Amino acid sequence: MREMRILFIGTGGAIPTEDRGHPSLLVEYDSTKILVDCGEGTQTRAKSLHGESLHDVDAVLITHHHADHVSGLVPLATTVSMLHGKNLRVYGPEPGDEAEALDVRECEGIDYETLDPGDEVEVGNLRVKAFESRHGVPCLDYRVETDVVPGKADPKALNELPPERRGEALRERGSPYTITEPGRISVYLKGDGRPADPSNVKGCDLLVHEATFDDPGDARRYMHSTHVEAAEVAKKANVTFLVLTHFSAKVDPVRMREEAKEVFPNVVTAEDGLRISLRRL
């Protein structure tokens, strides 16, 4: 329980391409699996291209109700029902009034719980907190965190203690009995919308941020973000690592990465199938 794993299933925009599917990523920690967004073909691409089954996810977090983020929910819910005889657990915002929003709350096989900014839920052994995202419809960002991971023990120091004191010393998590500090593994997941508030991101190991457009005017007009804006958030929040995703088919992610690195050096552009592991030593 010292590693969180993230698989980017789909990293494209509203129009999928041969190389980039609709947005979706999988977060795994110990025995907990959370799917974030579920666009068209998510479960098929996860299995056929990346070797991951999604029928056993503990929950799905959707950022908003646009089709490219929710159109794969009903097929996945059908699979879960057929294999496990239960409904798919889904969390997300209200759909809003925009004509393009697909209200999935009452779909067959889905147990939907509405979240508002500031709400927190526990999924398995992960804690999820929702934050408001400025987009054309109600939209949420998610901060996903583990419980506190204990520091690693120092065997030499522990062996100097009587056996009955060793458990207490580890629970105190103090030097010299541990050689690394305890802490959480935290990731901030930015789906669609204008740039995340750095104050919500502070303390995270990883920021996953949409970068749909490379033109600031387009980003403001359509309520999305650019790669440079995402890098500025990462810099202000002092995260360890930034991953850019959700690219329009019109942009050049390679060039965007190089421009973002001028603001924040530890950045990569996601591709479908990218896997990242976050470990506490």
Residue 265, CA distances (Å) to 121, 206, 228, 255, 260 in order:
33, 13, 12, 14, 7
* Residue 197 lies inside a defined structural domain of this protein: yes
Going by their DSSP bridges, the two strands 241-245 and 206-210 should be labelled as parallel
Do the beta carbons of residue 153 and residue 178 sit within 8 Å? yes
The pLDDT value recorded for residue 199 is 98
For the residues 1-25, what does the mean pLDDT come to?
Answer: 94
* Residue 237 lies inside a defined structural domain of this protein: yes
Percent of the chain exceeding pLDDT 70 equals 98
- Nearest CA to 142 out of 67, 95, 92, 90 is that of 92
* Residue 118 lies inside a defined structural domain of this protein: yes
* Confidence check: pLDDT of 53 > 70: yes
Q: What is the mean pLDDT of the chain?
A: 94
The pLDDT value recorded for residue 19 is 94
pLDDT tens-digit map of 198-224: 999 999 999 999 999 999 999 999 999
* Residue 58 lies inside a defined structural domain of this protein: yes
* Residue 158 lies inside a defined structural domain of this protein: no
Write out the catalytic residue numbers. 68
State the residue range of the domain holding 9.
Answer: 3-149+184-279
How many domains does one find in the chain? 1
* Residue 168 lies inside a defined structural domain of this protein: no
Residue 68, CA distances (Å) to 16, 35, 145, 166 in order:
9, 14, 26, 52
For the residues 240-255, what does the mean pLDDT come to?
Answer: 97
Amino acid at 211: A
pLDDT tens-digit map of 125-172: 999 999 999 999 999 999 999 998 877 788 888 888 898 888 777 766
Instruction: State the CATH number of the domain containing residue 199.
Output: 3.60.15.10
* Residue 177 lies inside a defined structural domain of this protein: no
Please indicate whether residue 180 or residue 233 has the higher confidence score (pLDDT): 233
pLDDT tens-digit map of 93-121: 999 988 788 999 989 999 999 999 999 99
The pLDDT value recorded for residue 1 is 66
